[in-house]
Chains A and B, each alone.
Chain A
Amino acid sequence: MMASNYNAKEEDGHQPAAIGHGGAGTVKNKKPDNTAFKQQRLPAWQPILTAGTVLPAFFVIGLIFIPIGIGLFVTSNNIKELEIDYTGVDMSSPCYNCSQSYSWNSTKPCTCSVPFSLDQPFESNVFMYYGLSNFYQNHRRYVKSRDDSQLNGDKASLKSPSKECEPYRTSDEKPIAPCGAIANSLFNDTLELYYIDPNGSRTAIPLVKKGIAWWTDKHVKFRNPGGNDNLTVVFQGTSKPVNWRKSVYELDPSDPDNNGFINEDFIVWMRTAALPTFRKLYRIIHKKPNMTPTLPLGQYILEVTYNYPVRSFEGRKRMILSTMSWMGGKNPFLGIAYITVGSVCFFLGIVLLIIHHKYGNRNHSADIPS
């Protein structure tokens, strides 16, 4: 009785309908159900995409994309952006000396002043970025070298950071806080801007350091262990990252809401960049309440406290001043892309329309299903 019912297979093929162990003589009445699903007759929408239905789509895409593209392009063009490389590779550049005489252990900070001028006034809020080139923040070893639970204020992780932080996990037998390569290499140049009045006097431009990090990072993802008070006590027993000059609780002693792990400069740095050439938001220059531009045209000086070495890996450092639009910073790519795609669609639409009209009828008769 039994063997007749096995369709034994050496391999594990499926045998859906064959499983059944009744005798051969059992009468099976298995009339299939007459349901739409089982009979593969579910009501269905059967779109027929023909030239007639698709051609208008080309025109519609063209008509929508070209204006958007023009809008984007104009917006991007209206954004004012100024980029200053202050690495100091050339002998002539003001920071040359600083870049040459660099040492981690030097106690006296090296400063240099880079003069520049604005041809156009910058209006509305101006955003100040620092940019690094050839800096592989997206290197795998680098990206994973952090401990997010330590940064989230977890006390256990504070004392014993994740293994991922190696070799920046402990120093002098003490756990490093914040541990890891990312934190260790925190960008520590200080940039200041001065406006040179036509009469020669320097006015410091107020740089706001709030609002440069993602709100959720600042308020949820990054937290000081045990609240923002008494950071000195909390971080007792931990060591500062080896390349840091000061401890994490000394990042901004003036403002307890910007100190320790929730220091915004630190948070910004901890969001690893996608590409080896990147920029990070450094400061915001808020627009003035009156009608005067935020940064009037004229002469400026960028005062750099030169701490961050990039020459060893042939990196570059930049300072970028930019205004913003609704679409972000200056980037002509989107506008050009939209205009191109829109025009291509429109053009294709016209070509196809001609083809369709010219050969459409003939195509129907010579319809060989392929």
Chain B
Amino acid sequence: MLRRRLNRLFGRDERRVDSRTIYVGHRPCPATDAFIPPKFCDNRIVSSKYTVWNFLPKNLFEQFRRIANFYFLIIFLVQVIVDTPTSPVTSGLPLFFVITVTAIKQGYEDWLRHKADNEVNKYLVTVLEDGRRARKESEKIKVGDVVEVVEDETFPCDLILLQSSREDETCFVTTASLDGESNHKTHYTVPDTEKGLESLSATVECEQPQPDLYKFVGRMHIYKNDQEPAVRSLGPENLLLKGATLKNTQKIYGVAVYSGMETKMALNYQGKSQKRSVVEKSINAFLLVYLCILVSKALVCTTLKYVWQSQPGQEEPWYNQKTQKEKDANLYLNMFTDFLSFMVLFNFIIPVSMYVTVEMQKFLGSFFISWDKDFFDPEIQEGALVNTSDLNEELGQVEYVFTDKTGTLTQNSMEFIECCIDGFQYKNRDSSTELDGFCVTDGPVSMLQQKAGREEEELFLRALCLCHTVQVKESTGQEDGVGDQVDGVLGLDGEMVHPAELRGFIASSPDEVALVKGAMKYGFTFLGMESKNMRVMNRDKDVETYELLHVLNFDPVRRRMSVIVRSKCGDIMLFCKGADSSIFPRVRQEEVDRIRMHVERNATEGYRTLCVAYKLLSSEEYAQADAGLREARLALDDREAKLMAVYNQVETGMSLIGATAVEDRLQEEAAETMEALQRAGMKVWVLTGDKMETAKSTCYACRLFQRGTELLELTVRTLEDGGRRREERLHEVLLDYHKRSWTSAKQDYGFIIDGATLSLLFNSSPDSSHYKSLFLQICQNCTTVLCCRMAPLQKAQIVNMVKNSKGSPITLSIGDGANDVSMILEAHIGIGIKGKEGRQAVRNSDYAIPKLKHLKKLLLGHGHLYYVRIAHLVQYFFYKNLCFILPQFLYQFFCGSSQQPLYDAAYLTMYNICFTSMPILAYSLLEQHICMEVLMSNATLYRDVAKNAMLRWSPFLYWTLLGVYQGLLFFFGVRFLFSNPALQDNGQVFGNWSYGTIVFTVLVFTVTLKLAMDTRHWTWINHFVIWGSLAFYMFFSFFWGGIIWPFLRQQRLYFVFANMLRSVSAWLVIILLVLLSLLPEILLLVLRKPRWPHSRQKKPLVQSGEGETQSSARPLLMRTFSDESNTIL
């Protein structure tokens, strides 16, 4: 990072231009006049933050940037500089401890980074230098070097693929460590460069480094013997990214274009911004209150001191003269130092140890999540993953759950269910049916007992076989599909036909595989690619070959993909498949009418539908398209837009041949989980890229929409009904829904909106905010909101909108794919599912769980408990320090406001570190005020802690009042006792240190017993630490007072504690005060109803709840959608 900043500082010119020019192999090119080797950064990866030299200053700086640490540093410095009542050790020691521990931890983490950096930087790579192969350390690679990479090696920097050992000028890579997608991706060499790398004279012109992994635009000029330079376009398919691994290819050569910190991987390694929890915000608010208390206490005391001193004979009585220095000091300076001294005296009210304890609690507490065996999934052999421990308690505060549909609510394991060819339905009910039975197999569901012609059938199946980007993987026996362990040899050179059952397919999307497999079931088998030829085995076991001319890639905006192929007989065909909404406008209307019914029926049954269309291209048409495509691909800027335009132009006038339905099964217990979340008061929003009907049926299946739910629909379809301008209609509908949702409170509402309407809502210029607030208000009254047809960015927009709405509710996003990353990062809590769509969501998440069903325990169980624990921890900490410091403050009224501490320095230091810290830590880790099973079975309990219930001002006020009450009691109780300081039967008197020790003893016992009373879950650890710290206090006090400590200047506590225990009165007053301080607590306990039967044995509710548990992994519901009438249109 620093390097980059430096680069900017020194103004390397190349940063300012839009593109960079790279000389391949550092050879000057004829076209350029002078060869000035441009300067690029070296290939060193620096992810570490510190070096040995700057660690100390930099780390200290980083640490003291935190406001709390800085505060304690100031207090410490004041203690060092000003003559203060307590020694600097009392605050210096804890601060030192905190700083050291953090520094060690960060140092260790940085050391790990150094180690990993070195591993990468010192890795030996082969570089071609003047035709010779030389071994170099990876960090020495310069931009322009030609690098050799062999199979299973990772690329040392971003390379343009020049030459591959594969015959078809491709290579395969897996980007598993970059974006988590483990499938093999094909990359292509730049045409015309594959021969003669030694003599290649070329320049690469490409854009400046940018972090988008999937975008790359460049141009290569190849100079050949004074010919006009050949220009080749470069795209992401030519770029091999650092961090990706070469697969299935013996070796490749590539020229380095981006190196070191400018590689896309390094640019992507920007930390996620840290998320802060509401609890932290509450802490900061409380802190502010306590800071005010602290300052006002100090002010009051300073004022009192000077008022008192102004009385005759009080400032400097004969027995207590000031030193000469004190006499000479300036009055105002004195006042200021007095103020600081009081601050120091009372600074314990804001304890360092709270930060330590909170951090420890979060750190240790998060282990319980990763340890939980309920989160362990035997399938992937993994449990939950905690990426951040800062948000544990936030899990108990969730108000909005945003969930992805595919892969999250559903399993994303696709199965080809049926297809519809030319309006006739084909349903393969029994997968074991003979393939040849295709023509006769039909379910009774079919409306017409007729079949489409064989011609159409075959065309349709061919389309399925050709229109995809699936690769065939040669599996060596194991059938289970996608995995990166299998290094099957792809290049089939013989004419051998493999048994179809052994064929494995690799694709970026599981529905493509499902479709190809579906086609296989019906007799058309895709055999694979052979240097731009797609080979398909048809029903007659003949192999048909098609030359693949162009792939018009899938993208979520177009929502379709096409291929252009040339058949053996020379026909050029375009096959297109895509969502109905994107296909229907591009085909003839009468065809649509025949198929639409099937598509919609399939969609309502929860299947994913795709429409397949095709068109025959005449050679002129093709030539035009070909030229357009090539030109667009060569474009250096706006390539995306240009390509899109060409695509749209080509994909018109097609004829619809059929539709497919693929089933996506629900996740295990998806419905139960969603139901539980709703009962817990969370609003569930489904954000999906899928289309409305499919998504809606998934929502019904997940019981997000109930039978009685009234659906408010706001889609393009709704808006187009009126025939008026969309904006007007939008406004009208919004107002109507708003009125409706606010008037009848009893009714359950569900809201449906689609991406297009949403962008209308967000972007319609002047009234946007008005619309937004209307929309939000409607949504707040709906139990479930379904947003379909969403782009990834829109998902984040929605989350952001809700997050920033009134009351700033806590949001949680859960998803499994790369398209969910934006919303995972946007929400307060991001949860990744370790699903099939790669690991990107998991890496960007705060918590990752193997299955959706685990969300229930994570939120209702862990989240609830963590929230209660930390809320109690925070309140308790403030409380115990308030009643610790209040007597000290009150004592100032009795000692002439002279900053005399009531307690001994050892007690001041140890109070928060040793005497009272362990019980609360144990409590905050182990407490289960209601046991896990009950929390899980009774989801409504989650509402008890909703809206930060335990950290709002009223509970804070209660705790504060309790602290004040107890502090007053401690001080004045002992004060009245000391009206006659002769407390022993031998008539001897007690002094001020005895006074403080009695108060302190009462304090420690009260505070610990208060916690004991709050503890509802006494494990042996709780017993151990609670009784242990009391015992430790006793032991320590004896020990501390039992020895004349040679290093102490004053033996203040010598035998004070032992003498105190010898006094019956002291005992009596301690017992009395402890009891009296706890009395209001006990009283409250009695008056408050027992919260819940929390013993594990009695759970009648669980039994009844368990009864209806049934697997929701059944096929999507077969309910008739007669309740379509519920939909308001």
Contact = CB atoms under 8 A, between A and B. Distances in A.
Interface in A12-68: 12-19, 21, 23-25, 27-34, 38-40, 42-51, 54-55, 57, 61, 65, 68
A21 to B, nearest CB: 5
A136 B895 contact: yes
B499 interface: no
A4 B106 CA distance: 19
Given A18-B386, A40-B926, A220-B1054, A275 B975 contact: yes
A296 interface: no
A252 interface: no
Given A40-B368, A45-B1018, A284-B987, A14 B1050 contact: no
A333 B120 contact: no
A330 B976 CA distance: 12
Contact of B992 (A164, A273, A345): A273
Interface string B379-403: 0011101111110000000000000
Given A141-B320, A146-B1050, A363-B1089, A125 B987 contact: yes
Contacts of B182: 25
Contact of A348 (B317, B894, B1083, B1092): B1083
Interface of A is mostly: loop
Contacts of B944: 369-370
A328 B982 contact: yes
Nearest to B1069: A334
Given A136-B320, A140-B900, A328-B983, A32 B370 contact: yes
A313 B313 contact: yes
Interface stretch (A90-98, A196-204, A210-218, A226-234): A210-218
Contacts of B1092: 369
A137 B941 CA distance: 57
Contacts of B19: none
A21 B988 contact: no
Interface residues of B, number: 142
Given A136-B320, A136-B895, A140-B895, A16 B367 contact: yes
A125 B178 CA distance: 89
B980 A279 contact: yes
A312 B1086 contact: no
B875 interface: no
Interface string A115-153: 000000000010101000001111111111111110010
Given A27-B381, A334-B1068, A341-B1075, A8 B989 contact: no
B244 to A, nearest CB: 10
B389 A15 contact: yes
Interface string B1077-1114: 00100110111111110110000000000000000000
Contact of A24 (B66, B180, B366, B932): B180
Contact of B366 (A17, A32, A145, A147): A17
Given A16-B386, A38-B368, A327-B1068, A138 B900 contact: yes
A34 B270 CA distance: 37
Contacts of B1016: 46-47
B389 A16 contact: yes
A3 B45 CA distance: 9
A212 B992 contact: no
Contacts of A303: none
B894 A275 contact: yes
Nearest to B991: A271
Interface stretch (B109-117, B222-230, B614-622): B109-117
B987 A329 contact: yes
B979 A333 contact: yes
A130 B895 CA distance: 20
Contacts of B899: 140
Among B376, B383, B839, B982, residue most surrounded by chain A Cβ atoms (within 10 Å): B982
A9 B47 contact: no
Given A46-B1016, A152-B1051, A352-B1086, A3 B268 contact: yes
B318 to A, nearest CB: 6
B562 interface: no
A166 B994 CA distance: 25
Contact of B1049 (A11, A19, A149, A272): A149
Contacts of B1017: 44, 46
Contacts of B375: 32
B977 interface: yes
Contacts of A68: 1068
A367 interface: yes
B985 A274 contact: no
B63 interface: yes
Given A7-B387, A214-B1055, A273-B991, A141 B983 contact: no
Contacts of B1044: 152, 220-221
B321 A216 contact: no
Contacts of B388: 7, 13-15
A194 interface: no
B119 interface: yes
B116 A2 contact: yes
Interface in B912-963: 926, 928, 931-932, 941, 944
Contacts of B268: 3
A256 interface: no
Interface stretch (B289-297, B690-698, B733-741, B1059-1067): B1059-1067
Contacts of A345: 1079
B520 to A, nearest CB: 29
Interface in B259-286: 265-266, 268-274
Nearest to A81: B980
Nearest to B1043: A220
B872 to A, nearest CB: 16
A73 interface: no
A40 B932 contact: yes
A38 B901 CA distance: 43
Given A44-B1019, A271-B989, A324-B982, A12 B106 contact: yes
B155 to A, nearest CB: 11
B597 interface: no
Nearest to A143: B900
Interface in B973-1011: 973, 975-995
B1055 A216 contact: yes
Contact of A8 (B271, B1076, B1082): B271
Interface in B155-187: 176-178, 180, 182
B15 interface: no
Contacts of A348: 1083
B1100 to A, nearest CB: 14
Interface in A258-278: 268, 271-276, 278
Contacts of B317: 136, 312-313
28 contacts: A3-B47, A10-B274, A11-B66, A13-B388, A16-B367, A17-B367, A17-B387, A25-B484, A25-B485, A32-B373, A32-B376, A46-B931, A54-B1085, A57-B1082, A141-B322, A144-B1050, A148-B1049, A168-B321, A212-B987, A214-B1059, A272-B992, A274-B981, A274-B994, A281-B987, A281-B989, A324-B986, A328-B984, A370-B944
Given A16-B366, A32-B375, 11 more contacts: A14-B362, A44-B1017, A44-B1019, A214-B988, A216-B1059, A273-B981, A274-B978, A312-B317, A333-B976, A341-B1075, A341-B1076
Instruction: List the 3 shortest-distance A-B pairs measured between CB atoms, nearest first.
Output: A185-B319, A329-B982, A8-B271
